[in-house]
Homo-oligomer: A and B are copies of this chain.
Amino acid sequence: MPAALKLATMPVSSSQKSIAAEPEAAGSVRAAVACQLREAIVSGRYRAGQRLPERELCAATGAARSSVREALRQLEAEGLVTIIPHRGPMVRPLPLEEARQTYAARAVLEGYVGRLCAQRRTAAQLAALDAAMDAMEAAAKTLDGPAVIAANAAFYAAMTESAGNAVIGAMLRSIHNRLALGRLSGVLWPGRLAESMAENRAILAAIRAGDAAAAEAACIHHIEASAAIALVILAARHGQDEAILLQEQTP
């Protein structure tokens, strides 16, 4: 039996700012459940493949089954949950190949965002990007993984905002949620942090210069480098899972 889901015991309002959609829009029970579940999945507190029986979610959140089921349908459409008929919902796993394809989509879209950003930059937007970059530099000095990730997310949010395409912005937010599964970021990889910061600086420089092609290339390069590390981590984790599985099968 899985441990009791720690949802109801968590303070809802004080949830740390997440990249997830509907940050605090918990006006309805259904939205609150979706929000909590999303946060739990994206943050990795629920592991990929873990089953989420409706009854336990009801007990954990205090919501009725109808509300829980609606929230689950929503998360399923977002790609975070899979519901197998007559078997129930589970945290949707992220196969290596799908991660690769998702990173490819992210590179294409974020490259376009960088291009737009360079074309449309205004003084105010550049100031916002500078501020986000400063926050990243500060976070990088602390070597605090989550802080770096949060600052990085803020930088990209500012960039997407500046690009002025909300549709692509929503797509990227969804992609980020999906790729955040279990925090497979390589920020703490030896040497990767400095490299990553340099890439980010290159992106900002290209945007400031108004060089659309350079900004697009810098964004794509940054995503591809991040993807390379993340895919290694993901592959290793899959290997681990298999090892654990074998270990459990032969005790």
Residues of A within 8 A of B (CB): 27-28, 66, 69-70, 73-74, 76-78, 85, 98, 101-102, 104-105, 108-109, 112, 165-168, 171
Q: Are B101 and A27 in contact (CB under 8 A)?
A: no
Identify A167's interface contact among B27, B102, B112, B165, CB under 8 A. Answer: B102
Structural contact, B168 and A171, CB atoms closer than 8 A: no
A63 to chain B minimum Cβ distance, whole angstroms, is 14
Q: Which residue of B lies closest to A103 (CB)?
A: B167
Least distance between A224 CB and chain B CB atoms (Å): 13
Question: Complex Cα distance A101/B171, Å?
Answer: 12
Q: Which of A28, A78, A101 has the most CB of B within 10 A?
A: A101
Report which of B78, B101, B104, B112 forms a contact with A108, defined as CB distance below 8 A.
Answer: B112
The one of B28, B98, B168 that contacts A101, using a Cβ cutoff of 8 Å = B168
Q: Would B166 and A101 count as touching, CB distance under 8 A?
A: yes
Residue of B nearest to A178 (CB): B167
A76 and B76 CA atoms in complex are apart in Å by 12
Q: How many Å from the CB of A176 to the closest CB on chain B? A: 14
Q: What residues of chain B lie closer than 8 Å to A66, measured between beta carbons?
A: 66, 69
